[in-house]
Amino acid sequence: MGGGPSEGPRRGRGAAARGGAKGGPRQSPQRGGGRTTPARPRELDARIEERNRERYANRPQTGSARPSGDQEGERLQKVLARAGVGSRRACEELIDAGRVEVNGEIVLEQGTRVDPEKDEIKVDGLTVATQSYLFFALNKPAGVVSTMEDPDGRQCLGDYVTNRETRLFHVGRLDTETEGIILLTNHGELAHRLTHPKYGVKKTYLAAVTGPLPREVGKRLKEGIQLEDGYARADHFRVVEQTGKNYLVEVQLHEGRKHIVRRMLAEAGFPVDKLVRTAFGPIQLGDQKSGWLRRLTNTEVGMLMKEVGL
């Protein structure tokens, strides 16, 4: 994708677009400046932290990866802090609690040195992305093309990340009129696995359709719908909300064929009025606003890597 400092502005890009993770192109003075990206509720972070403390409280202690006297590499707590795990002091406390592993061994010695480009570092069993990798989630608005550059000048994903010093690319695609979460990264192997059918990463969608909706439609979708390019099966289906003849349904599937959700529902007799992807694997859209880009947390990156065996 574009986005290097040498590029000039293109049509549709504004000051907010060049501002990085605080949102996409500014359409009016009311959008953009002064807002902050929605964060996870503090209560959720507190519950996760408490659960991890309980999980690792009685874990057996083993040796460290490298003694602190070895001057090769960087200090582990510094690497963890730079990766966004927490402050230097917080990372030292994680090491003391036996919650940090390097190459499969729990590290207990402060000052242990590691090579962030070669060593596998985990916190609470989840891999820490210590290399120069970037991971973002964008809530793509309707009308945005799922490409990093568009020769026709249409608004595209590249308009939301124009000031990055490294080339990012999108993980899979969303139809132009489909909204919701799409991942951006420069980690090629992770992106490849997340979209490869072998790993079966599930995507969750909310679709607005017009009823009445018979009870057996969910069973039919899960058993398989015959499309022009073969059968397509939903992994999960449920009615989320009904107001008269208007239904909001949730569809989860691991396929990535073009227009797959729209085609399945249309074939079942219920054309989609609006479609939003609410989750990509373990990464939830949550209350992230349309057009906003946010950096994935270290925990989220670890969950994605675990999902595809990295």
Residues marked as catalytic: 175
Tell me, what amino acid is at 185? T
* Parallel, antiparallel or unpaired: strands 179-185 and 272-280: parallel
Alpha carbons 160 and 18: distance in angstroms, whole number: 8
Question: Sign of the C-alpha dihedral, residues 189, 310, 112, 94?
Answer: positive
Q: Are 221 and 232 in contact (CB under 8 A)?
A: no
Please list, in sequence order, all residues whose beta carbon lies within 8 angstroms of the beta carbon of residue 161, skipping any fewer than 6 positions away: 1, 3, 20, 136, 168, 184, 293
Identity of residue 74: E
Q: Is the dihedral of CA 281, 286, 290, 291 positive or negative?
A: negative
Number of H helices, E strands in the chain: 7, 17
Phi/psi zone of residue 245: left (φ > 0), alpha (ψ -120 to 50 degrees), beta? alpha
* Buried b / exposed e along 79-91 (16+ C-beta atoms within 10 A): bbbebebbeeeeb
Residue 249, beta-bridge partner list: 207, 239
For residue 211, how far is the Cα from the chain centroid?
32
The C-alpha atoms of residue 29 and residue 32 are separated, in whole angstroms, by: 7
Amino acid identity, residue 183? Answer: L
- Helices 188-195, 298-307: crossing angle, 10 deg rounding: 50
